[in-house]
Amino acid sequence: MISKIENLTLDMAKKDKEIFALTQAKEQLEVNAMKKEIMLEKAKKELTDEKNSLTEKLEDTKTKLQKVNDEYLEKKVEYGRELALSQQQNEFLNKKIEEL
């Protein structure tokens, strides 16, 4: 009977140690999971911030491109007018020369 009690006591102590070890392992896993979750949230925030920054740069670049395109078209039209005016002047002067 005493032997049986001793065996049960030893088994219980063994089970208590197992429970304690498993509890510690569980707590460590929870801590690791929490750390990883914090790191994930930090990474998400960094990516979101970078995305916002890149989006802003893209919009600025689009605005600058539109401005350059507008200036180009304006200069192209101006050049076309000046060319047409020069051609008119040349034709006029050529006619005058021919008349003389």
Per-residue model confidence as pLDDT tens for the chain (100 residues) = 778 889 999 999 999 999 999 999 999 999 999 999 999 999 999 999 999 999 999 999 999 999 999 999 999 999 999 999 999 999 999 998 888 7
Determine the longest span between alpha carbons in the chain, in angstroms: 145
Predicted TM-score of the model (pTM) = 0.60
Predicted confidence at residue 52, as pLDDT, reads 98
What's the Cα-to-Cα distance from 69 to each of 45, 53, 55, 62, 77, rounded to whole Å?
Answer: 36, 24, 21, 10, 12
Predicted confidence at residue 4, as pLDDT, reads 85
Cα 68 → chain centroid: 26
List alpha helices for the chain, DSSP H.
Answer: 2-99
